[in-house]
Amino acid sequence: MLKKVVLLALPGVAPFEFGVVCEVFGIDRVDSGGPAFDFTIATAAPGPVRTSLGFDMIIEHDLAAAADADLIAVPAHSLDTIDEAYLEVIRAAEARGAWVLSVCSGAFALAQAGILDGRRSTTHWMHTDRLAAAFPATSVDPDVLFVEDRKVVTSAGTAAGIDAALHIVRKELGASVANVIARRMVVPPQRDGGQSQYIDFPITERCADSFAEVAEWMLKNLAEDLTIDQLARKALMSPRTFARRFRADMGTTPAAWLNKQRIIRAQNLLETTDQSLESIAADTGFGTAAVMRHHFVKVLQTTPTAYRRTFGERLAG
């Protein structure tokens, strides 16, 4: 179970990527139905740590705090030589089976520690060629938001760290908990990253004003066979104008948006109810369990049955 999280503050740490980890794991969200992690920031020499923007952060804890962490997080940092003390912390975490997360150029610390050898990885697109050349034992994928390989998670630049962090939360604590955090952060919809991410995000918060009402109506009527003509009438537009403006404002087609919301609704029902697959498929607008299975495999790279086995049993326990 994910309880203790330690964020490493390396010299030259990037404030945004540092803040991403703090935002996901460092805030008590019990009042919203979310978790309260045992969260600590640690550095090799407690005191001022210079950031990449030239100001100092005062860090109180040394690296001993990381000895029993369930997750070690390494944000973007200066690519100068990394103190061996940080590398030992990273190696020890991987060796005992803890999660290790890097954001952006934090992947270089993981690679220098040797834990990316034989694993897939990624980093910010500006650094992928450098990572691959410097550490040929890791297979660098430049086209994804993040990669998980046996509890070592590397993410691309900036906001991709949110995707990666929520992925870990979801795998450890389930989609409902991850969604509480995402909703409080008002993050964008689930983003395609070339891999199964298992993260559902609240959608209505980021809907363009022009489609907020119709999007809410769509969510309330997912079980129906919704057509472009119906949706266009609801939005008081012609079908062609509706389709064009929806894609421009929402970043995807009405059909793709609906399909993603149906998957999210189905995930929730699989986690929280004992409804049959056929019943869930009908309630979410997929029609049949076979059609729902097709979309789960295509989008999440798993079946509804396997998804329920993983996340439903975890929540029940």
The average confidence (pLDDT) of the chain is 88
pLDDT of 96 strictly over 50: yes
Q: Does domain 206-317 have CATH number 1.10.10.60?
A: yes
pTM: predicted TM-score of the whole model, two decimal places: 0.65
Mean pLDDT of 281-293: 95
Per-residue pLDDT, 209: 53
Rounded to whole angstroms, what are the CA distances from 267 to 108, 303, 316?
Answer: 35, 11, 15
271: amino acid identity, one letter? E
Mean pLDDT of 142-146: 84
pLDDT of 304 strictly over 60: yes
Per residue in 216-262, pLDDT tens?
A: 888 889 999 999 999 999 889 999 999 998 888 777 889 988 998 89
Per-residue pLDDT, 210: 62
pLDDT of 25 strictly over 90: yes
pLDDT of 182 strictly over 70: yes
Per-residue pLDDT, 200: 38
CA–CA distance, 270 with 312 (Å, rounded to integer): 6
Q: Which part of the chain has CATH 3.40.50.880?
A: 4-185
DSSP per position, 30-68: GGGT----EEEEE-SSSEEEEBTTS-EEEE-B-GGGGTT
pLDDT of 207 strictly over 70: no
Q: Which part of the chain has CATH 1.10.10.60?
A: 206-317
Q: Does domain 4-185 have CATH number 3.40.190.10?
A: no
Q: Which helix (H) or strand (E) holds 92?
A: helix 84-95
Per-residue pLDDT, 198: 34
Closest CA to 295 of 268, 258, 246, 252: 258
Per residue in 265-284, pLDDT tens?
A: 998 899 889 999 999 999 99
